[in-house]
Structure 1
Amino acid sequence: MGSAFMKFCCCCCITSDNDDEDDEKQPLLPPDPLEYFNREVQKRRDEETNLWSEPGDPSHSERKDDRVLYSLLQARNKTPMGSTGYRRLSVDIEAMRDTRREVRDKWKQILENLGFMAEADSLLTVSAGASHDRMRNAPAARELLHTLHTETSLFSSRQPPPERYLLILDRLLYLDIAEDFLAKAKRFYPPTDNSEEDEPGLAINLPLLLARVEASMNGKGNEEESEDDSGGEGNLSDRS
């Protein structure tokens, strides 16, 4: 009886120990699928709203214009909503977004003119997961991007063309419509003089925007609010 009881106790102990080990080996609970889905949807919405020039750069620091826009967004997040500084930053953020949307709209217009009415939006969508390594014909795409930059007015001549359009051109090359796109772009948007880029919507004053961000992050923007309220709320972009 004693030996049987000892065996029972030992079995219980072993079972208990094994249970503890099994508990330790249990995988961590997966994240809430709904939360993950909502986060991905928000990320995709942010990408389409900001149209990052370097979509594959999660830090948004490789290109100057991306760095300025990201800094403006970060500064606004730290500024009291409804304040003069918040409104001023919002104006500059929307100015940069509008400029990027104008470029995208030009590309969409050309694609639709080529007959891609239903496919234009998907062809122009570039996610943060896009990679140059997956491009099928990177050299030809880069050459075409350079031609579009120098021989059309699709982009501002003051800045290098956004890399996101390199990935889009690679798609057009794969579909064998890149040359047709180039011909339409030259026809619809011929090159213009640099002086014409002073028109609203075609240029953003990045150095002045950077100065505004730095002032806001250092708290100087709040000190100047009373003065700005009396003198108007002008923004530092080249848009009116």
Structure 2
Amino acid sequence: MGSAVKKFCLQFCCCCCCTGDVDDEDEKQPLLPDDPLEYFNREVQKRRDEETNLWSEPGDPSHTERDDDRALHAMLQARNKMRMGSSGYRRLSVDIEAMRDTRREVRDKWKTILENLGFMAEADSLLTVSAGASLDRMRNAPAARALLQSLHSETSVFSSREPPPERYLFILDRLLYLDIAEDFLAKAKRFYPPRDDSDEEIPGLAINLPLLLARVEAINGRGEEVEDESERDD
């Protein structure tokens, strides 16, 4: 099993390095621009952005298909238009980090289970999903989706308030290929049993998404007024 995992991770890493994160706009550009350093810096920034935000829909470069991705993306765009250090900038930073923390907590649960299954060295590689991921390239999409729904309904790995992130479909497809998906599900049920409705949500996971989306839309609608208010607050 160890050699199979190492072989898979090597193939996966090579594939990521070769394909990169490509969107429609990049496809129109030459493979290497006049300044190769600029190209590689852009690729590094894309990967850093992916690892920081852990987009729920990694194959959606617009980050608008899911409500949580749209909210996070909109907050990042709104913050970029504000003066760093202003009260508005700081308020958005708090909301952004809360959403990032939620996603990191889910990823950490997956990593804990994988490491308990003996994949200490391979866990990070197995959990890495680039923006170039495509459902068409999956080996067993139906089985992966069924497992994802089981994890969502039979464990507390994900928040029960929203659908599970699609990014984990690609990870489950890898686990199916390695023949450890059922073992992973069994461990998840043991480590993270479903919570009763009366159970209190784990701190950091209780994101009020409708309220957050409404706040972001208000910020976008008000435009520069937010910055003016932030300066007055300072």
Using the size of structure 2 for normalisation, the TM-score is 0.81
Partner residue, 1:125: 128
Return the alpha-carbon distance in structure 2 between the equivalents of residues 70 and 205 of structure 1: 16
Shift of 1:199: 3.7
Corresponding position: 1:136 with 2:117: no
Secondary structure at the counterpart of residue 158 of structure 2? coil
Return the alpha-carbon distance in structure 2 between the equivalents of residues 48 and 226 of structure 1: 32
Unaligned runs of 5+ in 1: 1-26, 230-240
CA RMSD of aligned residues (A): 1.9
Shift of 1:33: 1.3
Partner residue, 1:221: 226
Q: 1:211 aligns with which of 209, 214, 217?
A: 214
Partner residue, 1:115: 118
Corresponding position: 1:34 with 2:12: no
Kept in 2, the 8 Å contact 1:156–1:197? The answer is no
Return the alpha-carbon distance in structure 2 between the equivalents of residues 185 and 70 of structure 1: 30
Q: Which amino acid aligns with 1:105?
A: D
Partner residue, 1:7: none
Corresponding position: 1:62 with 2:65: yes
Instruction: Summarize deviations over 1:88-144 as a string: whole Å, max 9, x none.
Output: 000000000000000000000000000000000000000000000000000100000
Shift of 1:211: 2.3
Partner residue, 1:163: 166
Corresponding position: 1:96 with 2:112: no
- The answer to which structure, 1 or 2, has the higher relative contact order (CA under 8 A, 6+ apart) is 2
Q: Which amino acid aligns with 1:174?
A: Y
Shift of 1:224: 4.8
Describe how 1:167-206 pairs up with structure 2 within 5 A.
Answer: 167-206=170-209
Kept in 1, the 8 Å contact 2:57–2:66? The answer is yes
Shift in alpha-carbon separation, 1:37–1:92, aligned structure 2, 3 A: same
Aligned residues: 202
Return the alpha-carbon distance in structure 2 between the equivalents of residues 197 and 100 of structure 1: 19
Partner residue, 1:6: none
Identity score, percent: 83
Which structure would you say has the larger Rg?
1
Return the alpha-carbon distance in structure 1 between the equivalents of residues 156 and 117 of structure 2: 19
Unaligned runs of 5+ in 2: 1-29
Using the size of structure 1 for normalisation, the TM-score is 0.80
